[in-house]
Amino acid sequence: MSHTADAHDHHAHPPNLAHHFDTPEQQVASGKLGMWIYLSKELGGVNTVVLLTSSLTMAWGVRAAQLGQKKILVWMLSLTLAFAVMFLGIKFVEYKSKWEEGLLPGKRFHPTAPPHVNDGKGAEPGHHDLQERVLPGMVGRGAPAPAPAAPAPAAPVAAAAVPAAPADPSALPPGPKPGDESSLIKPAADGPPGLAVGEVVPLGADRNAVPKNVQIFFGIYFMMTGLHALHVLAGMGVIAWLLKRSLRGDFGPSYFAPVDLGGLYWHLVDLIWIFLFPLMYLIH
């Protein structure tokens, strides 16, 4: 977190390259990433409030059903549904911005360089530090060919396994050299032959490109929030069905179990979001 916050500060002084960045482009990209993480925090916070409020209206709805207050029940269920729609709307905005920034999971992870150099067809040479970490052959849309100056060895045509340790250690990009592994157990020299297809990025080659583990983070982020969103959708279906039945006047002091149970489900969706929010939006 502090890392990206620093980058944001430095962003205000273009001529200065912070000591921990290798290139200005890297600094700009890190700044962008930091800004988006900041924005997503705001959106996540707003969405938390929205979902908590929907839990209030749902609990109030259960109370109304227990007391046979049909009008209040209908209102509360409608409000809950409206907040759920709002939640998904904000979620959509969030996903859309990440889509545009290329912050997509896994093989589609492709953080774009600043817009003024990115026309959507790929970045110019010089911004390769963000792209080279995506291995050729598994890049999603608009994958650029590696720039000639790319430190990662070989072109995609070299399908045969590339040895993990190039002959000349000085050709390696900055980062740990082979033999620097943090483990005492040395990895098998070349790995199983024939397994690696395409290029092998040497250990730590991209360590400074984008904050570590960002790619895997967005994989987890999309899976977790996506699964949660699916549960929201299911909950909306349940609430809509409850709304229809409450309009018909099905519920009252002697029969409110469906509202009660639907409410429990909705609160659980809220409960999970309460934990997802700090894990996905606040901690980096």
Partner 1 sequence: MATIDHTMPGTARPGPARQANYLNASHGLLSWLTTLDHKRIGVLYLVSTLTAFFLGGVFALLVRTELLTPTQTIMGPDTYNKMFTLHGAVMVFLFIIPSIPGAIGNFVLPIMLGAKDVAFPRLNLLSWYLYIIGALWAVASIIMGGVDTGWTFYTPYSTTTNTAVISMTFGVFILGFSSILTGVNFITTVHKLRPVEMDWFKMPLLLWALYSTAVIQILATPVLGVTMLLLIAERALGIGIFDPALGGDPILYQHFFWFYSHPAVYIMILPAMGVISEIIPVFSRKHIFGYRFIAYSSVAIAIFGFLVWAHHMFTSGMSPMATMIFSALTFSVAIPSAVKVFNWLATMYGGSIQLKTPMLWAVGFIFVFGIGGLTGLFLGALTTDVHLHDTYFIVAHFHYVMMGGSVFALIGGLFYWWPKMFGRMVEERWAQIGFWLSFVGFNVTFFSQFVLGSRGMPRRYFNYLPEFQGLHQLSTYGSYVLAIGLGLSAVALLHSLFAGRPAPDNPWGAASLEWSTSSPPPTDNFSSEPVAGDPYDYNELAWDRSVQGYVRKG
Partner 2 sequence: MHTKGHSAHPGESIGGVHVMPVAVLVGIWVVLIILTVLTVGVTYFDLGPFNLAVALGVALVKASLVALYYMHLKYDHPFNGFILVVSLVFVALFIGITLLDARQYQPDMIPGYAPAMQKK
Site residues for partner 2 per CB under 8 A = 1-2, 41, 45, 48-49, 52-53, 55-56, 58-60, 62-63, 66-67, 106-107, 135, 137-138, 164, 181-183, 185, 187-188, 191-192, 195-201, 203, 253-254, 257, 260, 263-264, 267-268, 270-271, 274-275, 277-279, 282-283
Of the residues 160, 171, 220, 264, which one makes contact with partner 1 according to CB under 8 A: 220
Instruction: Report what 83 binds from partner 2, partner 1, none; CB cut-off 5-8 Å by kind.
Output: none
Binding to partner 1 by residue 173, rule CB under 8 A? Answer: no
Part of the chain binding partner 1 (CB under 8 A), chosen from 20-28, 39-47, 69-77, 99-107: 99-107
Output 60 or 221, the one with its CB closest to partner 1.
Answer: 221
Q: What DSSP string runs through the chain?
A: -HHHHHHHHHHTSTTPPPTT-SSHHHHHHHHHHHHHHHHHHHHHHHHHHHHHHHHHHHHHHHHHHHHT-HHHHHHHHHHHHHHHHHHHHHHHHHHHHHHHTT--SGGG--PPPPGGG--SS-PPTT-HHHHTTSPTTS--TTPPPPPTT-SS-S-TT--SPPPSS-S-GGGSPSSPPTT--SSSSPPPSS-STTT--S--PPTTTTTTTSSTTHHHHHHHHHHHHHHHHHHHHHHHHHHHHHHHHHHTT--BTTB-HHHHHHHHHHHHHHHHHHHHHIIIII--
Instruction: Report what 122 binds from partner 2, partner 1, none; CB cut-off 5-8 Å by kind.
Output: none
For partner 1, the binding residues in 32-91 under the rule CB under 8 A are none
* Cβ 119 to partner 2 shortest distance, Å: 26
Part of the chain binding partner 1 (CB under 8 A), chosen from 48-56, 76-84, 92-100, 221-229: 221-229
Which residues would be at the binding site for partner 1 (CB under 8 A)?
105-109, 135, 138, 140, 213, 215-216, 219-220, 222-223, 227
